[in-house]
Structure 1
Amino acid sequence: MSRQIVTSSDIDKAGIASDRESQASFVSDLKALLKLPVLIANAVPVFAGFWLAVYFTESTFAAHFDTFSLTIFGSTLVMAGALAINNWYDVDIDTVMDRTKSRPTVTGNISLRTVFWIGMSASILGIMMLAFTTLEAVIYALIGWFTYVVLYTMWSKRRYTLNTVIGSISGAITPLIGWGALDSVSHIVPIVLALIIFIWQMPHTFAIAIQKYDEYKAANVAMLPVVHGMEITKRQMVVYIACLLPLPLYLSSLGTAFVVIATLLNVGYLGLAISGLFSTDTRKWADNMFMVSVNYLMIIFVAAIIVTAPWFG
């Protein structure tokens, strides 16, 4: 019978492998805690707002790169802090819902106390960075943080179906932070972009609520389809998307190409929403609505950036 000899080299390799696994696990937990896809999706409108402020003030991006760095990092930290506190507060809900059971607050990989202080520290550091830009940017960031953490997470989410409307305010603030860090938000472009995000978030969130109907019902979260049913949710989605139709016309200063792209997106989005009124497979339709809504917002803001780039046209 042979004996396997374990050398110090084997032990070292095992230790290194274990360290790498621990690091990978921590990074994965951090991504889940800070909801990385949501964080990125919110950073894009901040960037677009700043970029468009540079364009309309006839300045250059390079001349304000230091302000941009403070704006993008500061706003991202504020949003990350708000998302972390949301996870800290919602741990009881996340324990029930299948899609959130892997979050570190549920698994215990990161203690609730640590999560709370990560959230608060990131929020404070982000506000401090934004304070080196403008007071207006700080005010918008604070409004977004307070709305998401207090008015949405702690007050309305479990009680009222209007939680979606309230939560939408925090998302709509993002282009105002970007623009406000460079120039006063008295221009129609950032205001309309904020309005687009505000309205878009309703059908987007309703699509998720339909997808995860059983989970929200089990967690006793007051989402519209859970409280009032699928049909009224579908009708409201149509109404909200219809409200997006005229908004590109107010962004004519971005050029004809942008108005055409945004209008075609709105028409297609509305057509899909109307088809849901006659769909017999509501879950499959909601999956399609979710995918379209995610791409819709990204295309809108990327298009706004591209059509105002120096090399465009």
Structure 2
Amino acid sequence: MNKSTLKRTLKGKESNEKRRKNIVKDLKSLFKAGVLLANVLPVLTGFCLALYFAEEPFGAHWITFILTISGSTFVMAGALLLNNWYDADIDAVMERTKGRPTVTGSISLRVVFTLGIILSAVGVLLLLFTTIEATVYAVIGWITYVIFYTMWSKRRYTFNTIIGSVSGAVTPLIGWAVIDSAMHPVPFVLFMILFIFQMPHTYVIAIRKFEEYKAAGVKMLPVVRGLRVTKWHTFIYIFLLIPLPFFIGELGIWFMMITTIVNVGWLLLSIRGFFVSDDLRWANQMFRYSVYYLMITFLTAILVTF
């Protein structure tokens, strides 16, 4: 092989490698990988806790487990794709989203829409092999997120955050309902924890990206009502989280202690926001804490059952 041929070969390999990396990057952005993973954890928690309270062995339900995780993931992925498809115009305005393939054109909007519908349908079909109740919760989450949040309220009303929080909060109900009816205090409290958690979590994201949301015309609370009002809402919702672990004492003293510590820590950090001069730095700290909060709370709920 002569030098020119070798150079062309190496250049072609580099080009293919770069193309593969770009595809992976586009897919991660398209599926909002971080959001998707954060939604899978509560499904897993609901499933594990339902097994624990029903005194059922995991080995007897491993096929159900695969169907549940796969089905719920597909439904959520489909909803996120449809969110990207619908929001392509405002994503083009916002710095953090203007690199998404729906904006750059590396993946066409038609493909994204079609894939979103297909994944959603496949996810629902897989969940139908578990229980009707679990499937209903997944469909409620999908409709709430795609129709009521993305298409109706996000660009019009500040309460879009409340609507969006409902869709994220149904995830532990899905995991629980494949084993037993979710008409039980534990999955209901997990639903409430997730629902309330998403409010301050989303508010601090809106503070971090204040100028972008303002430019895109998205009716987030800090854009419409200002930072101080948003800080008060953030404090109130975190305060409401504090008593919730005590309603599920069945999970034991360690769960109540750990979750109370992280709740109080988050509350103190929210209070600090009223006295800081650098709102952006505070919002970044709050966002990081909220991510750890979700992981600690739901992993603890699983671990205390062993």
Which residue of structure 2 aligns with residue 288 of structure 1? 285
CA distance in 2, matches of 1:5, 1:71: 54
Cα distance in structure 1, aligned partners of 2:19 and 2:274: 48
Deviation sequence 1:269-306 (CA, Å, 0-9, x none): 11111111222221111111111111101100000111
CA distance in 1, matches of 2:109, 2:96: 19
Q: Whole-Å Cα distance in 2 between the matches of residues 40 and 27 of structure 1?
A: 16
**C-alpha distance in 2 between matches for 1:10 and 1:274:** 60
* 1:75-102 deviation line (CA, Å, top 9, x unaligned): 0000000000000000011000000011
Alignment of 1:75-90 (within 5 A): 75-90=72-87
Match of 1:270 in 2: 267
Matched, 1:254 2:251: yes
Letter in 2 for 1:188: P
CA distance in 2, matches of 1:123, 1:27: 21
Cα distance in 2 for partners of 1:32, 1:284 equals: 25
- C-alpha displacement at 1:19, in angstroms? 2.2
CA offset digits 1:198-226 (Å, max 9, x no partner): 00100000000000000000001000000
Does residue 56 of structure 2 align to residue 34 of structure 1?
no
- CA distance in 2 between counterparts of 1:30 and 1:119 reads 13
- 1:174-233 Cα offsets, whole Å, 9 max, x none, are 000000111100111111001000001000000000000000000010000000001100
| Equivalent residue number for residue 151 of structure 2 | 154
* 1:92 maps to 2:92: no
Higher mean C-alpha displacement, 202-211 vs 179-188: 179-188
1:45-102 alpha-carbon deviations (Å, 9 max, x no partner): 0001001000000011111000000000000000000000000000011000000011
Give distance in 1, aligned partners of 2:80 and 2:121.
14
1:178 and 2:175 correspond: yes
In 2, the alpha carbon distance for the partners of 1:281 and 1:17 equals 43
**1:195 aligned to 2:201?**
no
Give 2:26's aligned amino acid.
Answer: D
Report the aligned-residue RMSD: 1.1
Q: Report the counterpart of residue 145 of structure 1 in structure 2.
A: 142
- 2:123 partner amino acid: G
Give 1:278's aligned amino acid. Answer: F
Gaps of 5+ in 2: none
Pair 1:224 & 2:210 matched? no
Structure 1, unpaired ranges of 5+: none
Cα distance in structure 1, aligned partners of 2:179 and 2:17: 42
- C-alpha displacement at 1:15, in angstroms? 2.8
Deviates more, 1:218-227 or 1:10-19: 10-19
Q: Tell me the distance in 1 between the aligned counterparts of 2:105 and 2:230.
A: 35
**1:246 partner amino acid:** P
State the SS of the aligned residue for 1:182: coil
Written as runs of structure 1 = structure 2, the 5 A alignment for 1:97-116 is 97-116=94-113
Counterpart CA distance in 2 for 1:306 and 1:286 is 30
Identity rate of aligned residues, in percent? 57
Give the deviation of 1:242 after TM superposition. Answer: 0.6
**What is the aligned partner in structure 1 of residue 120 from structure 2?**
123
Aligned match of 1:209: 206
